[in-house]
Amino acid sequence: QVQLVESGGGSVQPGGSLTLSCAASGDTFSSYAMGWFRQAPGKTREFVAGISGGGVGVYYADVGKGRFGISRDNGKNTLFLQMNSLKPEDTGVYYCAAVRKTLVEYRGTYSATDGYSYWGQGTQVTVSS
């Protein structure tokens, strides 16, 4: 079992940047594929980016391609999401999620919310002028 705690959210103007972090504890971090999801008010939770346990497999939703970068530091049990050129439509609660899967198992399920077993509590990101 793994526990996840997000941080780094906040308020930023359009065009700005934020880096979200997700600290993991409780199990071997590198055994878990990790994902970032977000949920805007009144909308369903949507996939943003995912990364396999060893970092080889990296996946992005169209909303983040070219603007967002997912990475992980397995030595520090931490997942990151670098967000650049932020837009008002990026506003929402950002969640990190974890699942114990191999790369082969993960690449068919990385974008599905029910493909993850553990979730953090979320961190708010607000993009507004």
Mean pLDDT confidence for 102-108: 89
Locate all alpha helices (DSSP H) within the chain, ordered by sequence.
103-106
Tens-digit pLDDT profile for residues 33-55: 999 999 999 999 999 999 999 99
Tens-digit pLDDT profile for residues 63-86: 988 999 999 999 999 999 999 999
Residue type, position 78, single letter: T
CA atoms of 111 and 9, how far apart (whole Å): 22
Q: What percent of the chain has pLDDT over 70?
A: 100
